[in-house]
Amino acid sequence: MPCEPMERTRTAPAPKPPAALAAAESLPAEALLTAAFAHWGRALVLCTALQSEGLVLLDLCRRIFPAVRVLTLDTGRLPDETHAFLEQVEGHFGVRIEVIYPDAGELRRLTERQGVNGFRAGQVERELCCQIRKVRPWQAVLAGRWGPAPAAWISGLRREQSPARRRTPKLQPDPETAGAWKLAPLADWSAEQVERYTLRRGLPRHPLYARGYASLGCAPCTRALRPGENERLGRWWWEISSKECGLHRGASPELNLRLQELLPSRKSEAISLA
Ligand code: SF4
């Protein structure tokens, strides 16, 4: 099994947070974002999958730092509703959201190896697809291969979303990328707080929520919830797993091995990032 979520996969001592953010854990979302933008400016970016948490953060960020860079990942398997909603969100906020795509060569190797729907074969195959379509494109962003390298990024993680997220810190070194910091300003928010903020600010809402979805991702790997299910159970419902794509946890040794087989050049790339 992969390591516990949120643990760093590197053995080097964890770096100290910037002094201005030493008290991050005790700060409410708005104060944390205010301090973070004061410290990093435009080098602090927002990554959103257009869930309600992401739109709350986009609204807060735009009020605090209107020039915030906003990015989203297009895996190539998103539902049509998400593309339509992306346009709606851009119109609502008056922003252009940067869309990040997987590397075409890596996708070709993936589909040659396991087919277009090979992610259904097992957890490692699924995680390999998530690595190629989500994690590695995001690592390319953090490494500065997609515009200026961010010093830190904001995610919409909340602790109550799943057992795997219950220890999410509000600020931590990115577990996969040396040098970058990761913020979760809504870590201690409840779903009700997100909903109240959404209503109060009149934020748009992804249309799939109205059809019973609680978490939004790729079309073939996300479904509406059944009564009583935890909100992450609509993701990869055929698996008994932590329900994570890999953006918020390190890769298991088996997954690393598969990645190495698929992308032999990755070893030297990992060394250059270390
Ligand atoms: S969620 Fe499914 S389709 Fe999307 S990247 Fe992961 S395995 Fe692939």
Domains of the chain: 27-103+134-248 (3.40.50.620)
Taking the C-alpha atoms of residue 238 and residue 254, their distance in angstroms, rounded to an integer, is: 20
For ligand 1, what atom is nearest to the CA of residue 235?
A: 1
Alpha-carbon dihedral 181, 176, 106, 242, rounded to 10 degrees: -110
pLDDT band at 8 (very low <50, low <70, confident <90, very high): very low
CB 79 within 8 A of CB 50: no
Ligand 1 in reach of 29 Cβ (< 6 A): no
Give the per-residue pLDDT at 269.
57
Give the per-residue pLDDT at 211.
96
> Any bridge partners for residue 46, and if so which?
70, 154
Ligand 1 in reach of 119 Cβ (< 6 A): yes
Ligand 1 in reach of 89 Cβ (< 6 A): no
Mean pLDDT of 29-37: 98
Pick the most confident of 10-14, 122-126, 198-202.
198-202
Q: Is the pLDDT of residue 127 over 80?
A: yes
pLDDT band at 238 (very low <50, low <70, confident <90, very high): confident
pLDDT band at 247 (very low <50, low <70, confident <90, very high): confident
Q: Is the pLDDT of residue 123 over 50?
A: yes
Mean pLDDT of 188-206: 98
Mutate to test the pocket of ligand 1, among 101, 124, 130 (most ligand atoms within 8 A of CB): 130
CB 183 within 8 A of CB 155: yes
Q: Where are the beta strands (DSSP E) in the chain?
A: 44-47, 69-73, 98-100, 152-154, 171-173, 181-183
Which letter does DSSP use for residue 235 in this model?
Answer: B
CB 109 within 8 A of CB 103: no
Considering the entire predicted model, what is its pTM? 0.89
For ligand 1, what atom is nearest to the CA of residue 133?
A: 5
Ligand 1 centroid–CA 212 distance in Å is 20
Ligand 1 in reach of 135 Cβ (< 6 A): no
Ligand 1 centroid–CA 18 distance in Å is 34
245 tagged catalytic: yes
Token pair of 217 as six digits: 């991702």
Ligand 1 in reach of 152 Cβ (< 6 A): no
For ligand 1, what atom is nearest to the CA of residue 119?
A: 7
Mean pLDDT (the chain) is 89
Q: Please calculate the CA angle 262-267-270 and round it to the nearest 5 degrees.
A: 115
Of 194, 158, 153, which is closest to residue 59 (Cα–Cα)? 194
pLDDT band at 153 (very low <50, low <70, confident <90, very high): very high
Q: Is the pLDDT of residue 40 over 80?
A: yes
pLDDT band at 52 (very low <50, low <70, confident <90, very high): very high
Taking the C-alpha atoms of residue 43 and residue 36, their distance in angstroms, rounded to an integer, is: 10
